[in-house]
Structure 1
Amino acid sequence: MKKKERQGNKRRLSWWVGLCIVILLGTPTRLSAQAVLSDQAEISFLISAPYDEAAFTVFGHAAIRVHDPVSGFDGVFNYGIFDFSSSNFVWRFALGHTDYILGINDYKQYIVNYQMRGSDVTEQVLNLTQYEKQDLYEALLVNAQPENRTYRYNFFFDNCATRLPAMVERYTQGEVIYHNPPAPQSFRQMVHDCTRHRAWLTFGIDLALGSPADRVATPHEMMFLPSFVMQAYEHASILAADGEEREMVSETRVTKAFEEDDEFDLLDDLLTPMLCGWLLFFLVFFITYRGWKQKRAYNGLDILLFSLAGIGGCVLFFLCFVSVHPCIWPNWSVVWLHPLHFVGVILFSVKKTNKAAYWYHFINFAVLSLLLIGWFFIPQQMNAAFIPLILILWMRSGQGIFNRKRAKK
C-alpha cells in the first residue's frame, strides 16, 4: 500500500513539475518564429484526454500546434495558461473574473507533460491551404503578443477549447460544415460525463450549477469540451466559395500516455457524498429519536446543523448573486441551502424566541416538504446526494414543531 502511495506521489510530483515547465515556457519569449511558413508546414489541433488528478484536468485540454520542419519551429499555441501567483487570483476566480493567457509552448515539452500525467494526446492535422495556414498562423502570433494574449475565461463559452474552432472558422477561406452532430445533451450531462469518477467534484458542481445548465447545448456549444472539438472536426469539412468541399482533417495521430496504475481514492471510491449524507442522516435520526423518547430538544444540534447549512448558503448565494460564472442562476438549491438559516440559529440560541423559532421550523418544514414532493418536477437536475441533507433539515424542523406543540400540552 505504501509502495503504491509513493508511486502515486511520485507521479503527482512529476506532473506538477511538467505543468510548471509548460507555464514557464508559455511566454512571449517563445515568439522567435519566422514570419512566413513553408509549404511543408502543418497546423493541427492537439486534444489531450481527461485526467482525474485535479479538478481542472478532468475536462481535458485543447491547443493548436504549428510545425514547420523547414525552419525548425514547432510550437503549441496554448489558450489554457493561468497564473496562480497573480494578484487576488483566488478571489477573482471565485468572482468569475479569471483571466487566461495564450502562450507558446515547446511541442516536445508540452507532449511530455501530458504523457507524464497519463493523458493520450490526439493530433488532428488540419487540411488547410497554404494561404489559410499563413493567415491563421499570423493571427495566432498577433493573439500571443503581450497586449493581446490575456482573455476573460468562461467555462462554457470561452475557454481553451472554444477558441480553436473560433480561430479556424474565422481564418478559413470558406464555410466550416459540421457533419454528424452528436446526440443532444445538456451542459450538466456533459459535465457529469467528465466528472463521473470524481463524486465530490460532481456534488460541488451540481450544487453550484443552476437550471440554465440543464438546457440542451447546441452542437457548436458542445465544443466547450475538447473531446467534442475532436469529434466535430473528425467529421467536419470546408465548403469553398466555388462549391468545392474538402475534409477538414487530413491526418490523425495519437501520442500515447506513459502507463499508470489506477489508484484507489478513499473519498471518491468509498466515502462518496451519497454514503456520507446517509450516514449523517441516520446519526441525526438516532439523536432525534432519542430526544423524542427523552423529551429533549437538542437545540445544540440544531444550532450546529443550521449553522453549517447557513455557511453553505452564503457560498451558494455568493455564486448566484455576486459572481458572474455562467449557468449559476436561477438555482433551485437555494430553496434548502441559504443564509436565512442563520436567522434560525439565532432563534434557537435564545430562549425568549421559542415562538419565533417554532415559526421558523414551521416555514422551513413546509418549504422542504414541497421541495421533496416536487423533486421530479423541478426544472433542474438535482444531485440525489442532496436528499439526505435536505431530510436532515426537514427532520429537525419537524422535531422542532413537535416539541413546541408537546410543550403546550
Structure 2
Amino acid sequence: MCRILLLVLAVCLAPAVRAGIVDAPAANLEISLMTYGPGDIYWERFGHDALEVRDTVSGESIAFNYGVFDFDQKGFLLNFARGIMAYRMDAESTQSDIDFYASEGRYVRRQRLALDDAQKERLRRFLLWNIRPENAGYHYDYYVDNCTTRVRDALDDALGGVLSTAWINQPGGMTFREQTARLMSNQPLLMLGMDLGLGPYADQPMTAWKESFLPMTLEDQLRSISVDGRPLVAEDTLLVPAKLTPPPDRAPDLRWPLLAAGLLFAVPLALPALTRRGGARGVFVAAGTLYALFAGLAGLLMLALWTLTLHRSAWGNFNLLAFSPLAFAILPGIWRIRRAGRPISRATSRVTAISFAACAIALLLHLWPDFPQRNLPWLLFALPCWAALTWTFCRRHD
C-alpha cells in the first residue's frame, strides 16, 4: 500500500526542520493532506498519503507519512508472512515526494485544511513527537492500522474527534473485499488469490470511518466535513494529474466468470464416467491432478493463515469447505484411472463425496441472509468440479 521509503531516518530529520516548521508560530503554518494515487505495482495499488506541514515564511515544507518498511530488516519475509509487519513513520521534503510520484505517473493532490492555530499546534506537536525514533514504529495492518488510518487518526485528534463523530455511524460504500478486488483488478491472478484467501472479516458491514483506510476515500470524505461552520478543506489542488489508468469504480463481479471456469473444468473431470476411451482417461488424470493439487494447496494455505499467522482478515475462511487438504487424498484414485479396468477404492469415493457435500452445504449457507462471508464465486467454481469427480469415482469404485 505504501511505497518503500529509505531516504531520511527520523533521527536525522530534526536538524533539517528546526529552521522552519519546528519553531515557526502556528499562525505561519499550513497543514495539508497530500494524496498520491494508485500505482502499477501491486503494493502501490492502494495509493498513499501524508500530512504536509508548511512554514509560509521560510517556505519549508515537510511531508510526514507512515509508509516505511525495510526489506533488509532481519526476518522481514518470515515476519511478513506471519502478519508481523513492522512499519515506521518518516518525513521528507514535500517536493521530493511530488517528484517521485509524478515520475511514476501517479496523481498528486494537496488539500489545504482550515485549521485554527490551536489545532495546527496540536498536530505539529504530535507529528514531531511521533517522528522520534522511539515512537516512530508500529505494527501495520492492511485494513485497520495503516499509513492512511494513522494520518486520519492524527487529524481526528487535532480536530477534537470531528472526523470520527461524523463517520463512525455513517454507512460505508464497499466492504474490504470489494475495495481490495476493485483496486487489484489490473492484476487478475493476484486479485483472485487475495479474494480466495480473505475470510469473513473482509465482508463485515462498513462505516465511513472504517472505509477511510484508503487514501483516495479519505481524500474524498474530507470534502464533506465542516468545522465551526466552515469547510475543512480550504483549498483543493491537483498538483500532478494521473498518467495511469485509474481503478474501476466498482469491484468486478466474479460469480459468472468463476462459474463458467468451474463448468469448463468439470467437463474433463466427468469424461471417464461418460466414455471409456483411453484419451479421455489421460485428459481426466491431467485435469484431476491439477484440480486436486490446487484445492489441497489452497486449503493448506488458508489453514496456515488462520492458525499460524496474525492475518485476521484470513481467519475462519469458509472457502475451506470447498478447498481443503483432503483433496490430496484423492490423488491416488485419480492416477488409478490411467489404466482401464482399475477400480477406485471406496475411501477415495467417500472423500470425494464428503468434499462435494461440504461445498454444497457452503453454498446453501448463502441462503442465510446474515451469512458472514461473500464467497459465492468460489463455491460456484468448486461445486461443478466436485460433482464431476464424485460422479466419476462413484461409477468406478470397488
Report if TM-score (shorter chain) is over 0.5.
yes
1:254 aligns with 2:226: no
Which residue of structure 2 lines up, in the alignment, with residue 356 of structure 1?
347
Identify unmatched segments of 5+ residues in structure 1: 1-18, 239-243, 263-268
1:150 deviates by: 0.8
**Structure 1 residue 76: deviation in Å?**
0.8
1:207 alignment partner, SS class: helix
- The alpha carbon displacement at 1:394 in A equals 3.1
Take 1:211 and 1:86, find their aligned partners in 2: how far apart are those partners?
32
1:333 partner letter: N
Pairs aligned (count): 372
Alpha-carbon spacing, 1:361–1:295, altered in 2? closer, same or farther (3 Å): farther
Match of 1:46 among 30, 34, 59: 34
Distance apart, 1:283 and its partner CA: 5.6
The alignment partner of 1:71 has SS state of coil
CA–CA distance in 2 between the matches of 1:197 and 1:217? Answer: 24
Specify the code of the residue in structure 2 equivalent to 1:211.
Answer: P
- Aligned Cα RMSD in Å? 3.2
2:60 paired residue number? 73
1:46 Cα offset (Å): 0.8
Distance in 2, matches of 1:252 and 1:339, equals 52
Task: Specify the alignment match of 2:303 in structure 1.
Answer: 317
What is the correspondence of 1:20-99 to structure 2 with a 5 Å cutoff? 22-25=5-8, 27-32=10-15, 33-34=17-18, 35-38=22-25, 39-51=27-39, 53-99=40-86
**1:220 & 1:387 partners in 2: Cα distance?**
33
Amino acid across the alignment from 2:237: R
1:387 aligns with 2:380: yes
Name which of 121, 132, 135 aligns with 1:134.
121
Q: Are residue 341 (structure 1) and residue 324 (structure 2) matched?
A: no
Contact 2:344 2:396 in 1 (8 A): no
Q: What secondary structure, in the 3-state scheme, does the structure 1 residue paired with 2:314 have?
A: coil
Q: Partner of 1:237 in structure 2?
A: 226
Identity of matched residues, %? 23
> Given the two structures, how large is their TM-score scaled by the length of structure 1?
0.80
Deviation at 1:375, TM superposition (A): 5.1
The correspondence of residues 9-408 of structure 1 with structure 2, limited to 5 A, is 22-25=5-8, 27-32=10-15, 33-34=17-18, 35-38=22-25, 39-51=27-39, 53-172=40-159, 175-176=162-163, 178=166, 181=170, 184-238=173-227, 244-257=228-241, 259=243, 278=260, 282=264, 285-286=267-268, 288-289=270-271, 292-294=274-276, 300-301=285-286, 302-345=288-331, 354-372=345-363, 377=368, 379-382=372-375, 384=377, 387-404=380-397
CA distance in 1, matches of 2:33, 2:244: 25
Read off the aligned partner of 1:30 and give its amino acid letter.
L
Distance 1:112 1:386, change over 3 A: farther
Contact 1:178–1:233 (8 Å) recurs in 2: no
| Aligned partners of 2:106 and 2:244 also within 8 Å | no
In the superposition, relative to structure 1, how do residues 369 and 217 fare at CA in structure 2: closer, same or farther (>3 Å)? closer
Q: Report the TM-score, using the length of structure 2 for normalisation.
A: 0.82
SS of the counterpart of 2:236?
Answer: strand
- Note the alpha carbon deviations across 1:291-346, whole angstroms, 9 max, x for none: 64117766844444323321121111111222112332221101011222223336
**Aligned pair in 2 of structure 1 residues 192, 108: CA closer, same or farther (>3 Å)?**
same
How far off is 1:61 after superposition? 1.1
Q: CA deviation at 1:199?
A: 2.6
| Cα distance in 2, alignment partners of residues 173 and 278 from structure 1 | 52
- In 2, the alpha carbon distance for the partners of 1:290 and 1:400 equals 9
For residues 247 and 40 of structure 1, the distance between their equivalents in structure 2, rounded to whole angstroms, comes to 20
**Distance in 1 between the 2:333 and 2:243 partners?**
57
- Note closer, same or farther for the CA distance 1:385–1:174 as it changes in structure 2 (3 Å cut): closer
How far the C-alpha of 1:286 sits from its partner, in A, is: 3.4
Q: CA deviation at 1:281?
A: 5.4
Q: Once the two structures are superposed, what CA deviation does each residue of 1:216-265 show, in whole Å capped at 9, x if it has no partner?
A: 11221111111221122111133xxxxx5443222111112363589xxx
Rate the CA distance shift 1:287–1:340 in 2: closer, same or farther, 3 A: closer
Give, as a single letter, the amino acid of the residue that structure 2 aligns with 1:252. D
